[in-house]
Structure 1
Amino acid sequence: MNRHDLFGQIPYFWPDLNDEEYALYDCLVYTQDEVDRIREATRAVDAIFRKANRLLRTLPDETLRLLGYPEASLPFLRDKALPQETIIGRYDWIVKDGVIKLMEFNADTPTFIKELFDVNRYVTTAFGLNDPNANATAELKTELRKAVIAAWQRLNRDGTPKIVFTSHDDNIEDKWTTRFLQETLDLPSEFVPLDRLLVDVDGVYTPSGERVDVLYRQTYPIEHLVDDRAPNGDLIGIRLLELNQAKHVSLLNPLSAFLMQSKGVQALIWELYETDTYFDEAERQVIRTHLLPTYLEADPFLGQSAYVQKPAFGREGDSVILYAEDGVPFHKEVLQTYAAETAVYQQFIELPTRTTNTVNGPLATHYMIGCFCLNGHPSALGARAGSMITNNQSYYLAIGTPTHEGD
């Protein structure tokens, strides 16, 4: 089976993006023990983030501003709407020389879902490997249903909920990721593009006038939503958050997921670790083992270590800069969309490298491991391969395990 045949059999997938190769005809092989270790790290670190979220809800606005949260989001950040802090989050790991270190946590609107929960099995089968994500879609269905039930019960309404999934209609990755979640939920629901939702003073409505109870916005970030305006200038994004807060609609992921999204949270966790406050010794051991030193300024690294500057709410490597320990930059991403926003500074460890098979032949790539966490439960994992910084030009690389131990 060649690349075209492999990916051609998968419905509603995008093996190429912007006329460039995205999904690789290749597979990274990990032992089951290595997969288990990544998942255990994910489970342990997720507990740290969930505990940090409880603290974040008690902090004053001034502190939240320092961590990079948009001013318009502050009135909504302490709303604990659901028992779940987040439904679908993704931890991005450096897995190298037996060490597993966290780069960042995409708690609110992670993509890479269709690839790991669905496509991975096709690739591993083609390469004669086991799919480590074989049970992940069933786990996803369970957590989606639990979340929708909790979101519906929060509204305290009678009858059957109107469930709507939404994304930008012109972005194939966003749209088919969202449609995959809708298909996995397997309950009566509707897909409505973002620009066709009607956000009124008393609720959110479909184009046909049906009132929306649960609105799933997997790919629509809150930091963009708060700036959204209607053609007449109305702050339509803020209105949506107000409707959610007033229980006229329930948003998924909940706002508590956005609270964990800022990379400033990693700086807060590291400060609490260094000052030996809030976390017990077992939690401190998890932080020591799996988190990288992260601060809101670069000073601790000068003369000590190379470091990376990241925007608190950046995505796809945009605006990332790498510095040597003398403070001189040695790599800067071309896109600097978030350059003026709050940044964090994190110890730099170079990603591991491998020779990867591409349509243009073997290519030396760096790769990171993404592992999803579903309401506290580690789940599907896979790799992104590309340059020194994982960005929107990085490839999707499947992960498989040997069919027999020792292979």
Structure 2
Amino acid sequence: MRRIPQTPRPAWRERCDEVGFSFYDLESEGGRPYWNETAAYAFTLPEIELLESATKELFDRCMDAVEHIVRQGRFDEFGIPGRYHELVRASWDDDDPTVYGRFDLAYDGGSGVKLLEFNADTPTSLVESAAAQWQWLDDLKAAGQLPAGTDQFNGLHELLIEQWEHVRQARWGLAPGALLHLASLHDSGDGALIVEDFDTVAYMAETVKAAGFEPKLVFMEDLRWDVDSQRFLDGDDVPVKQIFKLYPWEWMITEQFGGFLTVSRGTTQWVEPAWKLLLSNKQLLVVLWELFPDHPNLLPAFTTPDALAGRSYVSKPRLGREGANVTVFGADGAVEASATGAYGDEGFVHQERAAFADLPGKTAVIGSWIVGETPAGIDMRETSGPITGDLAEFVPHYIEETS
């Protein structure tokens, strides 16, 4: 894996707009744009095959972990209230379908690929991964900046369509034209549209449409429970029978309408499903290490830091996002880096610090996508420090041609 300087496309903003990616100018480190095509990450084909294999292996072990947690009834460890235990259990036992997820991986530049966390419920960076970086690759090849045969580990678009079609036909038994709601949060209380979430859901709607659904974009704020019909309705009073939501389960079960989630199980089908509560929680890292100690793709992780004495480790809130409230400790126990945020009341897990590739001044985290059960591609986010937070930059990647 190499980080190679690149010349940005003259009209890169306009090109990003054309694929529905409009939040490229979100502020990142140093005030730079979030989308960074002044560089690219180049991988060899064996490296891509290594990442693909590790992603499939990690997904399989995560499925083993969910089965174990459900059978052993270990829901309390994940902070799931008792009234939702049966909802999660039924969702798993009924094999409620999943569409996608994103593993965050550390790669040391050799053979070491380690799981940092699994963004299993509401992963973002979808539109920039699936559409924007693929367009970037095509443009650079057309301009002669990359060889014509250069490829990218990116089957996200096609695999999403295939998976949604599988869900519609094989899992839900729905005819073409069936309505699918797609929901995101409109704002965080200030009235301003959360553009990143909206663009992500709008892109997902494109894949849903191609899979034979009739998509309807709505906002989470507009969903309501109708007492008379005993079901969820949208803002137009249309019943919500199937819905994709870019909104975390851990928020849903703490909100006022959360109690209706159990009642609505027979009338509303959610993607991602309720069993993803067990995978989007960093307590998963502890269970994985317990079940598969010394696994080559796992880092030691515990509920207390005692077992990591004498080693550098990272403390992460179980439900944290974008690096918030993460603390990095040195082998001597001293704090080497930390981030503020609104998480932590739910408790922490403590994970041995990962080794990353030696990239001067950069820490690069690989986001490895899974669609259904298939590794689907990667994205790259980089920072100048050890914590990948909300100021990380997205950098495209490609696979180097071999002679």
What TM bracket, shorter-length normalisation? 0.7 to 0.9
1:208 pairs, out of 215, 223, 236, with 236
Deviations 1:10-60, CA, capped at 9 Å, x for gaps: 332121115751011121100122111101100011111111111111223
Contact 1:27–1:123 (CA under 8 A) maintained in structure 2: no
What are the residue-to-residue correspondences of 1:243-282 with 2, within 5 Å? 243-245=263-265, 247-274=266-293
Range moving further from structure 2, 326-335 or 108-117: 326-335
Does 2:371 align with 1:374? Answer: yes
2:337 pairs, out of 331, 340, 344, with 331
Q: 1:192 to 1:67 in 2, by over 3 A?
A: closer
Q: 1:194 to 1:47 in 2, by over 3 A?
A: same
Deviations 1:218-255, CA, capped at 9 Å, x for gaps: x2001111222xxxxxx11332x22442x111000111
2:223 pairs, out of 197, 222, 225, with 197
Q: Measure, in 2, the Cα distance between the counterparts of 1:161 and 1:2.
A: 42
Query: What is residue 155 of structure 2 aligned with on the other side?
Result: 135
Q: Measure, in 2, the Cα distance between the counterparts of 1:382 and 1:120.
A: 9
Q: 1:394 to 1:4 in 2, by over 3 A?
A: farther
Deviations 1:340-392, CA, capped at 9 Å, x for gaps: 2221110002433536xxxxxxxx32111111011211012111101311111
Does 2:89 align with 1:78? Answer: yes
Q: 1:265 to 1:298 in 2, by over 3 A?
A: same
Q: Measure, in 1, the Cα distance between the counterparts of 2:369 and 2:247.
A: 18
Contact 1:94–1:100 (CA under 8 A) maintained in structure 2: yes
Contact 2:169–2:175 (CA under 8 A) maintained in structure 1: no
Contact 1:353–1:367 (CA under 8 A) maintained in structure 2: no
Contact 2:168–2:175 (CA under 8 A) maintained in structure 1: no
Query: What is residue 189 of structure 2 aligned with on the other side?
Result: none
1:184 pairs, out of 193, 197, 207, with 207
Query: What is residue 198 of structure 2 aligned with on the other side?
Result: 175
Q: Measure, in 2, the Cα distance between the counterparts of 1:52 and 1:145.
A: 27
Q: Secondary structure at the match of 1:53?
A: helix
Once the 2 structures are TM-superposed, how far is the Cα of residue 140 of structure 1 from its aligned partner?
1.2
What are the residue-to-residue correspondences of 1:83-162 with 2, within 5 Å? 83=95, 86-98=98-110, 99-125=112-138, 126=140, 127-128=145-146, 130-149=150-169, 152-153=172-173, 161-162=178-179
TM-score (norm 2): 0.85
Once the 2 structures are TM-superposed, how far is the Cα of residue 115 of structure 1 from its aligned partner?
1.3
- % identity of equivalent residues: 22
For residue 179 of structure 2, what is the amino acid of its counterpart? K
Q: Measure, in 1, the Cα distance between the counterparts of 2:63 and 2:219.
A: 31
Contact 1:31–1:401 (CA under 8 A) maintained in structure 2: yes
Q: Measure, in 2, the Cα distance between the counterparts of 1:150 and 1:71.
A: 32
Q: Measure, in 1, the Cα distance between the counterparts of 2:357 and 2:216.
A: 42
Q: 1:86 to 1:334 in 2, by over 3 A?
A: same
Q: Secondary structure at the match of 1:391?
A: coil
For residue 166 of structure 1, what is the amino acid of its counterpart? A
- Structure 1 stretches lacking a partner, 5+ long: 229-234, 275-286, 356-363
Q: 1:74 to 1:342 in 2, by over 3 A?
A: farther
- Structure 2 stretches lacking a partner, 5+ long: 1-6, 187-192
Q: Measure, in 1, the Cα distance between the counterparts of 2:315 and 2:85.
A: 24
Q: Secondary structure at the match of 2:89?
A: coil
Once the 2 structures are TM-superposed, how far is the Cα of residue 4 of structure 1 from its aligned partner?
5.6
Q: Secondary structure at the match of 2:184?
A: coil
Once the 2 structures are TM-superposed, how far is the Cα of residue 149 of structure 1 from its aligned partner?
3.9
For residue 234 of structure 2, what is the amino acid of its counterpart? T
Query: What is residue 279 of structure 1 aligned with on the other side?
Result: none
Query: What is residue 359 of structure 1 aligned with on the other side?
Result: none
Q: 1:252 to 1:5 in 2, by over 3 A?
A: same
Contact 2:97–2:167 (CA under 8 A) maintained in structure 1: no
Q: Measure, in 2, the Cα distance between the counterparts of 1:161 and 1:244.
A: 19
Q: Measure, in 1, the Cα distance between the counterparts of 2:175 and 2:59.
A: 35
What are the residue-to-residue correspondences of 1:301-380 with 2, within 5 Å? 301-303=308-310, 305-335=311-341, 337-354=342-359, 364-380=361-377
TM-score (norm 1): 0.84
Contact 2:232–2:268 (CA under 8 A) maintained in structure 1: yes
Does 2:295 align with 1:288? Answer: yes
